[in-house]
Amino acid sequence: MFCFQCQETAKNEGCTIRGVCGKDDKVANLQDLLIYLIKGLCLICEKSGYSDEKIDKFIVESLFATITNVNFDDSDIIERIKKCIELRENIKYNSENLPDCATWKPENDEDIIKKAYTHEVSVLAERDEDKRSLKELITYGIKGISAYLYHAMNLGYNDEEIHKFIKSTLAKLTEDLSVDELFNLAMETGKYAVKTLELLDKANTGTYGHPEITEVNIGVRNRPGILISGHDLKDLEQLLEQSKDKGVDIYTHCEMLPANYYPYFKKYEHFVGNYGGAWWRQREEFKKFNGPIIMTTNCLVPPDESYKDRLYVTGPVGYPGVKRIPEKDGVKDFSEVIEHAKKCNPPEPLEEGKIIGGFAHNQVIALADKIIKAINEGKIRKFVVMAGCDGRFKVREYYTEFAKKLPKDTVILTCGCAKYRFIKLDLGDIDGIPRVLDAGQCNDSYSLVKIALTLKDVLGLKDINELPIAYNISWYEQKAVAVLLALLYLGVKNIILGPTLPAFLSPNVAKVLVEKFGISQISTVEEDMKKLGII
């Protein structure tokens, strides 16, 4: 296996024996084969002009399944590979002069496994280091776009143009493009990341209303509970509806926390609040929760035997031996989970208190007058975007220290699980405006873009880089790659990225990003504050 798609990749070079995430070589190789064949499927769609919603949905969900911490189940990936070939074979196409990725057919599962272990389906099949780097940057950006689009589609929002972009771009990756062509395609990926984030924002707010300032309880009640993690709001809606008046409580975990900010979900009396912190603490926290846990998307950590039988997966998520929520025509059946919860003890308390959030674009724009006044009076000197992902490595303590040391006339804009490094600190407020404004999940990154663009207009600025906003972004998985490409597409410069630059950036590609966009890696808190003009 060779995988270097996430920030925790071994030695910041690549996982070659087993993933730091827990993915074994069989699953990693099967995921490579799945992507190889999806590219072939896209090529055939392009060449034949064939298009159908089933294929679009399949591509998006399968790419999502290959994102870090989503799917660890080899049999699930094998089924997707078979489906990919079946969909392809239903299209009438001329196989002459087509590459292997568009024509290869297995006889049985053994053939699939054998093929997955071949060099030609691996990331390393591209020998040119710079082309490989750009191809993977694009592929990971498209994985992120697919995840965002998947959620929007679940809520009945879709955009044909985004599917077209995904298919045409993945098809192009089978050709021998120049470094310049690939670079342009990476920028184009950023454009579609913005478009997809905007669509998802429309889907979420159109369905559940605009997030509003909310105090989220982080303690527990004394009834059995169900913990729901990941990002899918539709899953949460169905769970809340099916579990009301059943004597169980519902708690969010990690990236599901921002669901508490939506007006729509507040009507459920048994929707109690949030339990625990960022994804990487789940082994210790799930043990103490005592009740069933549902993973709707990433980040899943390979479960401990002590709670594996309380774990349920759905959508693109998979883990061998873990129960899947039954689904028919888009309706999920949570009855088994609810019955399971009734037999469990209430959750053990981890902490008490509240998290304040709900500062998505609509809420922040509603506070615009107050914010502009504070800026004009010099009470707010700078906003610092500290958004993205959290991770296991100790080096991420940097983000807690950074937040603590920020001068009192600065405000943090956050979203994603990166917030868990500082959201529970008491950083105070500026004239009633909290110093940490949480816009939501990483899926809500569009909110931060919209806030920046609105401020730019209100302040009468020409360039997004003239705003008093500094960017200190932490990344982990491929949705963050899509968000980074979106920011670059919007022309945001001088982003500090950490805790490390992606291993998949070759020295030459990294150099171009540094020269063109001023991207740099985190160093020390003091140095970075100086670099960002904060101190």
Is 231 among the annotated ligand-binding positions? yes
Task: Give contact residues for ligand FS2 (rule: CB under 6 A).
Answer: 69, 254-255, 279, 298-299, 389, 416-417, 441-442, 476-477, 479
Three-class SS string for 140-177?
HHHHHHHHHHHHHHHCCCCCHHHHHHHHHHHHHCCCCC
Task: Select the span of 15-23, 114-122, 132-140, 489-497 touching ligand SF4 (CB under 6 A).
Answer: 15-23
**Closest chain position to ligand SF4 (CB):** 19
Can you read off the two tokens belonging to residue 401? 């220290």
> Min. distance of Cβ 68 from ligand SF4 in angstroms?
4
- SS3 category, 525: helix
254 contact choice in ligand SF4, ligand FS2, none (CB below 5 to 8 Å, kind-dependent): ligand FS2
Task: Select the span of 17-25, 118-126, 258-266, 336-344 touching ligand SF4 (CB under 6 A).
Answer: 17-25
Identify residues 48-77 at the interface with ligand SF4 (CB under 6 A).
68
Q: Residue type for 40, please?
A: G
Question: Closer CB to ligand FS2, residue 380 or residue 442?
Answer: 442
Residue 298 lies near ligand SF4 (rule: CB under 6 A): no
Is 42 among the annotated ligand-binding positions? no
* 260: Cβ contacts below 8 Å, ≥ 6 apart: 214, 216, 252, 271, 273, 274, 357
Out of 11, 12, 13, 21, the residue judged to bind ligand SF4 by CB under 6 A: 21
Is 101 among the annotated ligand-binding positions? no
204 contact choice in ligand FS2, ligand SF4, none (CB below 5 to 8 Å, kind-dependent): none
Question: Closer CB to ligand SF4, residue 24 or residue 401?
Answer: 24
* 102: Cβ contacts below 8 Å, ≥ 6 apart: 40, 41, 43, 44, 88, 95, 174
Residue 3 lies near ligand SF4 (rule: CB under 6 A): yes
> Min. distance of Cβ 12 from ligand SF4 in angstroms?
10
417 contact choice in ligand FS2, ligand SF4, none (CB below 5 to 8 Å, kind-dependent): ligand FS2
Distances in Å between the Cα of 485 and the Cα atoms of 175, 199, 352, 491 are 22, 17, 38, 10
* 298: Cβ contacts below 8 Å, ≥ 6 apart: 67, 68, 69, 70, 230, 231, 279, 317, 477
Out of 23, 310, 435, 450, the residue judged to bind ligand SF4 by CB under 6 A: 23
> Min. distance of Cβ 133 from ligand SF4 in angstroms?
14
* 460: Cβ contacts below 8 Å, ≥ 6 apart: none
Question: Closer CB to ligand FS2, residue 299 or residue 380?
Answer: 299
Question: Closer CB to ligand FS2, residue 237 or residue 255?
Answer: 255
* 508: Cβ contacts below 8 Å, ≥ 6 apart: 129, 130, 133
CA distance 310 to 348: 15
Residue 393 lies near ligand SF4 (rule: CB under 6 A): no
Is 254 among the annotated ligand-binding positions? no
Q: Are strands 271-274 and 331-332 parallel, antiparallel or unpaired?
A: unpaired
Question: Closer CB to ligand FS2, residue 36 or residue 280?
Answer: 280
Q: Are strands 496-498 and 433-434 parallel, antiparallel or unpaired?
A: unpaired
* Residue 166: CB atoms within 10 Å: 24
User: DSSP label at 3?
Assistant: B
Question: Closer CB to ligand FS2, residue 29 or residue 282?
Answer: 282
Contact 384/412 with Cβ under 8 angstroms? yes
Is 255 among the annotated ligand-binding positions? yes
List the one residue out of 172, 152, 154 whose CA is nearest residue 162: 152
Residue 5 lies near ligand SF4 (rule: CB under 6 A): yes
Residue 4 lies near ligand SF4 (rule: CB under 6 A): yes
Question: Closer CB to ligand FS2, residue 189 or residue 441?
Answer: 441
CA distance 4 to 238: 36
Contact 496/472 with Cβ under 8 angstroms? yes
> Min. distance of Cβ 140 from ligand FS2 in angstroms?
12
Question: Binding site for [4Fe-4S] cluster, residues?
Answer: 3, 6, 15, 21
Question: Binding site for hybrid [4Fe-2O-2S] cluster, residues?
Answer: 231, 255, 299, 389, 417, 442, 477, 479
Please report, as ranges, the residues that interact with ligand SF4 according to CB under 6 A.
3-6, 8-9, 15, 19-21, 23, 28, 68
Question: Binding site, residues?
Answer: 3, 6, 15, 21, 231, 255, 299, 389, 417, 442, 477, 479
